[in-house]
Amino acid sequence: MSTSQKHKNFVAEPMGDKPVTELPGIGEKLGQRLVDHGCDKAYVVLGQFLVVKKDEEMFTDWLKDQSGANAKQAGDCFKALTEWSQSFL
């Protein structure tokens, strides 16, 4: 399975202050739902990823609950955060 350009861009550089919509799988609608739950930056979502100890099921369930993401969207986000953390943590 190939990765999207958004994924490639995200994992290629430090996270900094990127908005949550820079995360692969997170578009404007899901991003707004996350902002409404206090997750306005990609690093906040990364924090939750780390809190659940990089567990795919726990993270994707959390993301689905917070944003209404479907399995593919949550999986794309998880995959990007996993790859990003391998490079930068």
pLDDT of 2 reads 63
pLDDT tens sequence across 50-70: 999 999 999 999 999 999 999
Query: How far, CA to CA in Å, does 7 sit from each of 36, 38, 65, 83?
Result: 24, 23, 22, 9
Greater pLDDT, 2 or 12: 12
- Report the C-alpha gap between 33 and 23 in whole angstroms: 14
Q: Which range of residues forms the domain containing residue 51?
A: 5-88
- C-alpha triplet 57, 58, 60: angle, nearest 5°: 65
Total number of domains constituting the chain: 1
CATH of the domain at 16: 1.10.150.40
Torsion of CA 50, 30, 65, 71, to 10 degrees: -80
Q: Report the 10 Å Cβ neighbour count for 84.
A: 22
